[in-house]
Amino acid sequence: MILAIDHLVVAARTLEEGAAWVEARLHVAPGGGGRHALMGTHNQVLSLGGGVYLEVIAVDPAAAPPGRARWLALDSPAMRERLAGGPALIHWMARTDDIAGAAAACPVDLGEVLAASRGDLRWRITVPRDGGLPVDGVFPSLIQWDGPAPSATLPDAGCRLEALEIAHPRAAWIADALRSMGMPRQAPLVAVDGAPGMVARVHTPGGACLVG
């Protein structure tokens, strides 16, 4: 199996608020994106180079309720309270070429494998039945693209992910689990002991920035 950082997820109460928050930090505005009919959300995206991108996501006020808990814990009271304080980097996705095998080999219960789409894009993704985030959000959900990933077609914004730092009391266990699933040691991923959270170091046209 192959495992790689696919994209970082910034959530916000509204897409406009999230996009403005990212632009204020990276000096580049996300764009494009679209609607996820499966979950009643919408997004904008920004290339971070090297096959990685950043996604800004929010509940789509124009969408019908999805009839299930939305992904990324967006329906949970705790997440709503968190985002009331402003947008935040809440999660990340790991790309695989065998999502069924990777999910079966994962020591964390990542939930169901669902088929999803946005425009011409098609993919499969792991989503817990309650819509929650695995291991406080610092352990990735898995995604397998059925066709080119967005990172292959996004315009170069001059941003590069230098490192994704994840903190957790079980940081070493998380790192070992990801490596056992195919994450290469040279991936720009750093696991440190601490309270659960994450921050991304990004080089931008305006210099080095942090997103967290």
The rounded Cα 8 to chain-centroid distance in angstroms is 4
pTM across the whole model: 0.96
Q: What domains are there in the chain, each with its CATH number?
A: 3-156 (3.10.180.10)
SS3 80: helix
Residues of the chain with pLDDT > 70: what percent? 100
Report DSSP state, residue 119: T
| Residue pair 134/180 in contact by the 8 Å Cβ criterion | no
pLDDT of the residue at 179: 94
> How many CB atoms sit inside 10 A of residue 208's CB?
9
Q: What is the pLDDT of residues 146-159, one digit of tens each?
A: 998 999 999 999 99
Tokens of residue 143, six digits: 């995604």
| Residue pair 170/146 in contact by the 8 Å Cβ criterion | no
SS3 3: strand
Q: What amino acid is encoded at 120 in this protein?
A: D
Beta-bridge mates of residue 201: 163, 210
> Which residues lie closer than 8 Å to 155 by C-beta, 6 or more apart?
47
pLDDT of the residue at 195: 96
Q: What is the pLDDT of residues 32-46, one digit of tens each?
A: 999 999 999 999 999
Residue 6's pLDDT band (cuts 50, 70, 90): very high
